Amino acid sequence: MVQNAKFFGKIPMTLIRSFVGAVLLFSTLQACYPQNQPAPGPPSGPPGQTWAQQQKSQSFAAEKLAKSPRRREWVNIPLGSRNLGAWVIYPETAKKAGLVLVLHEAFGLTDSTINTADEVASMGYIAIVPDLLSGYGPNGGGTSSFATTRDGGNALDMLEDEDVYPDLNAWVDYGNKLTQANGKFAIVGLTWGGGVAFRYAISAPRPELKAVFVFCVSGPPEYNQGPAHFHKGIHDWPVIKTSVPVYGFYGGKDLTGPPDSAVLYSIPSTRRWMAAVGNFYDPVIYENAEHAFMRIGEDPKNDNPANAAAAKASLIRLEKLLNEYLN
């Protein structure tokens, strides 16, 4: 012991402190990332609303839809053992029109997403709003069959991309057969749906896909969707070459998500990685707007005028870009 004390006395104190710090850091990392453990379950959160409560909270969207002059129909198509459902909203024109898939938020298909799709249809496009929980609910139901929005969100969190992409392709196939369709399509993705749209554009786009528009969601290399990624701050989404341009719409106060992949903080790395492989990515940040501003910005109860301003500006930008790519 005396010999050890003499030995350590010859070592600079800064080196000893560095060694001890490294040991403590290694121990902490081991505790945070245990080895050979199964992936945790879906992220925990508030219990959520019932379907009736959700509908009531979005009554502003339902009222707007009730006044819409556009034709809207509910459509079901089979896919394997599941029965897919979606709203199809038609523009007020007889001319050929592009197709726009509008993908919902993390709690499933609700009136606010349908309202956004109706606004897209008002621009002169066929809007299809899939319920991506179709067939995953109790008794094979969709979003409305889940007891709470948290239950629906957990079911969505369990889906990997390869579970969702076939739904998108099935609805594009359906849309392309409509006599009014011109053979081109784009995707508008809201929060959770935006993440799906972004990854689809990079990893498995169809040739008819002309552009993707993502709202309030982290981009590559951030990726926490699917069981393999729960509760992990990992960044393993491969950013590969795509010909599909991606346009981002973000709130300046959007810090939703884990600290290392909060939506607002993810933009610089997304920009860097997309540029590194030659992909087109054009993000716009709306000052003081919050997460999901396309929904809450249209709610009369919203007390942040920046959300309404961002929603209005986004629709103007979206219409301009859709005219560029789908006409």
Half-sphere exposure of 109 (CA within 13 A, CB side): 24
Looking at the domain assignment, is residue 39 inside a domain? yes
How many separate domains does the chain show? 1
The answer to whether residue 46 is domain-embedded is yes
Residue 86 has which token pair?
């979606």
Tell me the residue range of the domain where 264 lies: 14-326
Output the tens digit of pLDDT for each of the chain's 327 residues: 434 444 334 445 544 454 444 434 333 333 333 333 334 445 445 567 888 898 889 999 999 999 999 999 999 999 999 999 999 999 999 999 999 999 999 999 999 999 999 999 999 999 999 999 999 999 999 999 999 999 999 999 999 999 999 999 999 999 999 999 999 999 999 999 999 999 999 998 999 999 999 999 988 888 777 887 766 666 778 899 999 999 999 999 999 987 767 899 999 999 999 999 999 999 999 999 999 999 999 999 999 999 999 999 999 999 999 999 999
The encoded tokens of residue 63 equal 């009222």
Residue-wise DSSP of 173-203 = HHHHTSTTEEEEEEEEEETHHHHHHHHHHHH
How many whole angstroms separate alpha carbon 213 and alpha carbon 102?
A: 10
d(CA 64, CA 119): 10
The CATH number of residue 84's host domain is 3.40.50.1820
Domain-located, residue 287: yes
Query: Exposed, middle or buried by CB within 10 Å (0-12, 13-18, 19+), for 15?
Result: exposed
Contact between 85 and 131 (Cβ < 8 Å): yes
> Do the beta carbons of residue 237 and residue 252 sit within 8 Å?
no
> Which DSSP category does 260 fall into?
G
> Is 165 within the bounds of a domain?
yes
On whether the CB atoms of residues 126 and 180 are closer than 8 A, the answer is yes
| Residue 9 counted as domain residue | no
Rounded Cα distance between 210 and 186, Å, is 6
Within-domain flag for 7? no
